[in-house]
Amino acid sequence: MTFVADGEPTLDLNLGRVIELIQPLGIKIAVITNGSLIPLGDVREDLAKADWISLKVDCAREEVWRRINRPKPTLRLDAILEAMLEFARVFEQAGFPEGVVNVVTGRGPVAGEALVGHPDVDMVSFTGSTRVGTRVMQLAAERGARVHLELGGKAPFVVLDDADLDAAVQGAVAGSLINTGQDCTAATRAYVHTSLYAEFVSGVADVMAGVR
């Protein structure tokens, strides 16, 4: 199970409790999140309960990170990066075998290409630019490795001619406004069958007009 509550797992105060309730069912839980809150001890404690964790930062350069991420003034990139390393060290101190938890740093053309091209890596998941994603796909294809790419394209919302119009309208609005629109998979454009187009546009406009 991949747990993405409210678009940002670590903002859910009940994350740790939810994981505790789900795990007895034998479901593996993955938490994929931005690393902004990893310096907080309670966040690290909750994340440690999951079976698989992916932490990301938008950029490793302070000035670019602030321009892209627009973080709260109290957040510091160096503190986030250090907390990620500390989080990994906790697993080592707990007795995890060497190699189970890995923190790999370095530039894409060096560290990234070494990882993508390594024969022991069966699948590569990458979120980023189309240019880099194309390179990842090229390297993976040379040895037949699977890839999962989330690149710089816009996320389309597709409405076919047999769609439930009311559900489509509500879904399109919710899909574009979730987490105040700050979501990499937010619905940012719509492909609508011509038979439903006029009603869909009118319905979305009506719902949007009531959003506060």
Known active-site residue 184: yes
Q: For residues 13 and 161, what is the distance between their CA atoms, to the nearest angstrom?
A: 40
- Type and span of the H or E element at 41: helix 41-47
The Cα 126–Cα 147 span in angstroms is 8
Backbone region of residue 152 per phi and psi (left: phi > 0; alpha: psi in -120 to 50; beta: other values): alpha
Least Cα distance to 47 among 57, 28, 58, 32 occurs for 32
Annotated catalytic residue, options 45, 82, 142, 150: 150
Tell me the three state secondary structure of residue 40: coil
- CB-based contact 79:41 (threshold 8 Å): no
Q: Mapped to the 3 state alphabet, what secondary structure does 103-150 carry? A: CCCCCHHHHHHHHHCCCCCCEEEEECCHHHHHHHHHHHHCCCCEEEEE
In angstroms, how far is CA 179 from the centroid of its own chain?
A: 13
The answer to whether 86 is a known catalytic residue is no
Residue positions annotated with a catalytic role? 150, 184
